[in-house]
């Protein structure tokens, strides 16, 4: 009886969230990075009012080049278009991990601006903290006219499947003027007005030291900001609640907690990095103890974007996929009885040497969360995150939901026993030695919190 009462309280919290009405005909789920790329390019070329792209990064490779050129072309064809690109300030001013190339994305933005005189496509850098390791811009959602193209993907070759490899994510196209205006207003009023936010396509941009105090004040402000909109949807219609947050106790984190605890029967959770915050770990265990059905879909360690094959130079960040696998193995060893009685289903995603970057939550065929949040301590406390919580009481989205989940499960293997996963003794010698050293000096915990 007590557990039913607690679940009802969590369900009540979700029900009382303000929601924007949504028509089912105006939600389209895409099922591959190729479709995502082509849809994004087509939508940019057909824009009539505004193009606002927000991503962790826009990379200076073929995929990024095509996107940026498409934006420049759209602006050139229609100078009245309101165009802005926002990326993380720190990420744009460094090279790729393990690459010594001194030419950064910011340098490329400057060259593109110089190559298109008279065509203004501002690229702003958003510094969420004074250092990249302590917080990044992790907002998702491209706003083009009245559409929101929502995905956890950034903009480069692998996310857009431009070469021989892809990074798998989720992709939703949502036509909703109120939703688009809500996300747009947050960008215009909360981000672009901040002194800490500066253009990256300007060689005279300030240094980190010059805006250090501005960044600190900006972070404090972000902790208090939220999306503002009129929640006019009834409890019985398809609707969306946009959420944004920074810091452990932000509204997005609280809603994720309520969402898990509101599960009546079934929960599916996807994350590329199995390193859940303690609160969410407890929530999952409580659901299993209450007899709920829990499905977790994670990437294989070799499908992790931090994984370095043994024939490539090794970097310390390459230990992360192994740390995540150790976390998962430990978690399953404690809960093997739930695997045995089919209450807990864990799937490991692997497709050749492609990578997995997919995250999301589905609850009882009634709720689903679209988010770039990795559901890890970093997302929980350091990064600026957002999400779209979809309420579907009449199951109008059921065909799309089932097709998406079936597609996600395609390249997965069900874990029948925790021993199927490698243990530390199975890892390459250099990995074993490094992991033992990190554990001895407890840096592994720090790495899992900030990466």
**What amino acid positions are annotated as catalytic residues?**
138, 169, 357, 385
- How far is residue 132's CA from residue 144's CA, in Å, rounded to a whole number? 28
Find, among 122, 144, 147, the residue nearest to 49 by Cα. Answer: 144
> CB under 8 Å to 359, separation ≥6 — which residues?
152, 170, 270, 271, 272, 371, 372, 373, 374, 375
> CB under 8 Å to 172, separation ≥6 — which residues?
27, 28, 29, 30, 149, 150, 151, 370, 388
| Contact (Cβ atoms closer than 8 angstroms) between residue 233 and residue 20 | yes
> CB under 8 Å to 449, separation ≥6 — which residues?
377, 378, 381, 382
- Measure CA 17 to chain center: 22
Find, among 25, 11, 15, 22, the residue nearest to 399 by Cα. Answer: 25
3-state class of 334 per DSSP?
helix
Please work out, in degrees rounded to the nearest 5, the angle formed at the alpha carbon of residue 286 by the alpha carbons of 170 and 271. Answer: 20
Find, among 301, 250, 314, the residue nearest to 273 by Cα. Answer: 301
């Amino acid at each position: 009886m007590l557990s039913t009462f607690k679940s009802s309280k969590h369900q009540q919290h979700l029900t009382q969230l303000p929601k924007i009405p949504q028509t089912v005909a105006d939600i389209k789920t895409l099922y591959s990075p190729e479709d995502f790329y082509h849809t994004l390019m087509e939508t940019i070329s057909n824009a009539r009012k505004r193009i606002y792209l927000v991503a962790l990064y826009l990379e200076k490779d073929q995929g990024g080049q095509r996107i940026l050129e498409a934006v420049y072309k759209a602006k050139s064809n229609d100078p009245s278009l309101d165009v802005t690109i926002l990326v993380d300030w720190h990420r744009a001013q460094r090279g790729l991990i393990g690459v010594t190339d001194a030419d950064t994305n910011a340098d490329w933005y400057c060259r593109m601006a110089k190559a298109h005189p008279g065509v203004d496509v501002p690229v702003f850098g958003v510094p969420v903290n004074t250092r990249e390791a302590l917080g990044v811009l992790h907002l998702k959602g491209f706003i083009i006219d009245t559409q929101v193209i929502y995905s956890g993907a950034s903009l480069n070759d692998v996310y857009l499947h431009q070469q021989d490899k892809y990074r798998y994510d989720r992709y939703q196209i949502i036509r909703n003027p109120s939703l688009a205006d809500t996300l747009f207003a947050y960008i215009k009023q909360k981000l672009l007005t901040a002194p800490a936010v500066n253009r990256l396509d300007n060689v005279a941009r300030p240094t980190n030291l010059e805006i250090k105090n501005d960044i600190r004040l900006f972070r404090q402000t972000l902790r208090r900001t939220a999306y503002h909109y009129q929640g006019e949807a009834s409890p019985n219609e398809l609707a969306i609640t946009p959420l944004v947050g920074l810091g452990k106790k932000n509204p997005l984190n609280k809603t994720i907690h309520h969402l898990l605890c509101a599960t009546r029967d079934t929960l599916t959770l996807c994350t590329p990095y199995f390193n859940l915050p303690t609160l969410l770990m407890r929530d999952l265990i409580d659901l299993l103890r209450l007899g709920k059905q829990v499905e977790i879909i994670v990437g294989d360690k070799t499908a992790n974007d931090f994984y370095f094959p043994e024939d490539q130079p090794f970097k310390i960040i390459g230990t992360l996929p192994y740390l995540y696998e150790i976390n998962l193995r430990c978690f399953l060893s404690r809960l093997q009885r739930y695997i045995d009685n089919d209450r807990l289903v864990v799937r490991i995603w692997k497709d050749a040497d492609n990578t997995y970057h997919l995250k999301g939550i589905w609850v009882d065929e009634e709720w689903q969360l679209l988010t770039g949040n990795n559901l890890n301590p970093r997302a929980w406390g350091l990064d600026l995150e957002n999400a779209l919580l979809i309420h579907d009481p009449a199951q109008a989205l059921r065909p799309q939901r089932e097709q998406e989940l079936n597609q996600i499960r395609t390249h997965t293997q069900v874990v029948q026993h925790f021993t199927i996963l490698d243990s530390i003794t199975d890892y390459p010698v250099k990995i074993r030695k490094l992991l033992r050293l990190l554990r001895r000096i407890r840096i592994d915990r720090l790495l899992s919190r900030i990466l």
